[in-house]
């Protein structure tokens, strides 16, 4: 009991580093519930998943037969670690009426990290490393984020805490109900697909709105200038200082380089912030605290991260004056961004 209490306290403290309210757990639950408002009651997407062990899970084939419990998590997430005993217990006692699947959010994680984490915590349920499609389909906003799908194939619950509400949702989902066979065949939303832009490709013909309400077109329609896209998270430096210190240091180093190099008006800059655990207000606080002067936009749905196939922060992409992506800058190299700008 003392260990559980300590872990809960650590989880709250770490979440406070993200700039959340005094009641960080409540904030997480509220964000998850807000993310689920457009999902609860709707048919779940019929996706085919592949686990890190190479096994295939066809979600659509489960609907109408058993309930499904998906938990989005990350190895760097303290509350996720705190909830793992509850998660593993649920899996071990699922029986034939409930499928339990761990969905790693695919944000600043790797198969190697996940496997090490699995060995350390003794996790036995199937694990999927998300490529962004699941997070998009289930409106991922926080970690952990629980998705409970009833035996009728409809989403019944979205939450953040491992509490009585989650347990009640899991119990209710096992109930086949009078319409399970019919609803199990209902078509869920189509998987979210994105165009993919990589090195050698042209920037997309679209614009985004920055925090100050201005439009930033990826393709510059004025005087041709190179473009630098900086993918970031407003809590990378603070939160990951304890769980991923190397990534935290990389975020700080990249921010400092960008602040210095962005004085060069011959280059267009745009900071693209992940919507995971971040709101426009969080991004404004980050902008103020670190005196960020480049335009910032919040990629709330993760669409831009998927378009540019970004799964780690910081990630920096450099495009020439014609809008062709030249390279991904290694943030491991202290002077990598400076060298890339110098070659433009």
State residue 342's pLDDT score: 81
63 domain-assigned = yes
Task: Name the residue range of residue 236's domain.
Answer: 207-342
Structure tokens, 236 = 């990378």
Asked if residue 144 has a cis previous peptide bond (ω within 30° of 0), the answer is yes
Task: Give the pLDDT confidence of 64-74 residue by residue, as tens digits.
Answer: 999 999 999 99
198 domain-assigned = no
Task: Give the pLDDT confidence of 209-239 residue by residue, as tens digits.
Answer: 999 999 999 998 778 999 999 999 999 999 9
7 domain-assigned = yes
Burial class (CB in 10 A: 0-12, 13-18, 19+), 104: buried
Same-domain pairing of 175 and 211: no
Q: Are 192 and 135 in contact (CB under 8 A)?
A: no
pTM beyond 0.85: the answer is: yes
Same-domain pairing of 63 and 137: yes
Q: How far from 130 is each of 125, 135, 248, 343, CA to CA, in Å? A: 15, 7, 22, 35
Same-domain pairing of 257 and 114: no
State residue 5's pLDDT score: 39
192 domain-assigned = no
Same-domain pairing of 156 and 55: yes
Could you tell me where the DSSP H helices lie in 154-206? 164-173, 180-183
Same-domain pairing of 218 and 277: yes
194 domain-assigned = no
196 domain-assigned = no
Q: How far apart are CA 54 and CA 57, in angstroms?
A: 10
Structure letter (DSSP) for residue 322 = T
Same-domain pairing of 247 and 158: no
Could you tell me where the DSSP H helices lie in 122-215? 133-137, 164-173, 180-183
Residue 126 has phi, psi (to 5 degrees) of -60, 140
- Digit-by-digit pLDDT tens for the chain (344 residues) are 333 433 443 344 444 444 444 356 769 999 999 999 999 999 999 999 999 999 999 999 999 999 999 999 999 999 999 999 999 999 999 999 999 999 999 999 999 999 999 999 999 999 999 999 999 999 999 999 999 999 999 999 999 999 999 999 999 999 876 544 434 445 665 555 668 999 999 999 999 999 999 999 999 877 899 999 999 999 999 999 999 999 999 999 999 999 999 988 899 999 999 999 999 999 999 999 999 999 999 999 999 999 999 999 999 999 999 999 999 998 777 678 888 888 88
CB atoms within 10 A of CB 8: 15
Domain termination site, one of 150, 183, 216: 183
Same-domain pairing of 321 and 254: yes
- Which residues, other chains included, contact 74 with Cβ-Cβ below 8 Å and sequence gap of 6+? 80, 104, 105, 107, 108, 109, 143
At 160, which CATH number?
A: 3.40.30.10
Number of compact structural domains in the chain: 2
Same-domain pairing of 158 and 268: no
243 domain-assigned = yes
Domain termination site, one of 168, 183, 198: 183
């Amino acid at each position: 009991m003392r260990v559980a209490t300590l872990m809960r306290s650590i989880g709250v403290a770490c979440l406070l580093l993200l700039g959340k309210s005094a009641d960080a757990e409540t904030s997480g639950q509220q964000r998850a519930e807000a993310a689920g408002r457009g999902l609860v009651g709707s048919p779940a997407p019929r996706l085919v998943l592949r686990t890190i062990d190479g096994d295939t899970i066809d979600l659509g084939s489960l609907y109408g037969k058993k309930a499904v419990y998906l938990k989005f998590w990350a190895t760097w997430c303290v509350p996720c670690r705190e909830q793992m005993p509850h998660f593993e217990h649920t899996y071990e006692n699922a029986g034939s009426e409930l499928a339990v699947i761990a969905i790693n959010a695919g944000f600043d994680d790797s198969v190697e990290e996940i496997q090490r984490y699995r060995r350390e915590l003794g996790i036995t349920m199937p694990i999927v490393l998300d490529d962004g499609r699941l997070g998009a389909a289930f409106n991922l906003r926080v970690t952990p984020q629980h998705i409970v799908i009833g035996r009728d194939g409809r989403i019944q619950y979205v939450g953040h805490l491992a509490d009585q509400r989650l347990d009640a949702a899991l119990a209710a989902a096992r109930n086949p109900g009078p319409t399970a066979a019919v609803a199990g065949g209902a078509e869920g939303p189509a998987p979210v697909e994105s165009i993919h832009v990589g090195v050698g490709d042209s920037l997309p013909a679209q614009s985004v709105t920055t925090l100050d309400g201005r439009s930033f077109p990826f393709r510059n329609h004025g005087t041709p200038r190179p473009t630098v896209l900086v993918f970031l998270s407003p809590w990378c430096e603070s939160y990951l200082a304890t769980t991923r210190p190397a990534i935290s240091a990389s975020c700080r180093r990249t921010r400092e380089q960008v602040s210095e190099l962005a004085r060069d008006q011959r280059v267009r800059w745009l900071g693209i912030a992940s919507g995971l655990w971040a709101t426009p207000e969080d991004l404004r606080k980050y902008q103020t605290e670190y005196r960020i002067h480049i335009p910032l936009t919040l990629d709330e749905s993760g669409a831009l991260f998927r378009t540019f196939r970004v799964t780690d922060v910081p990630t920096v992409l450099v495009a020439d004056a014609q809008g062709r992506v030249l390279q991904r800058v290694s943030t491991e190299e202290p002077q990598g961004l400076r060298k890339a700008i110098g070659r433009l």
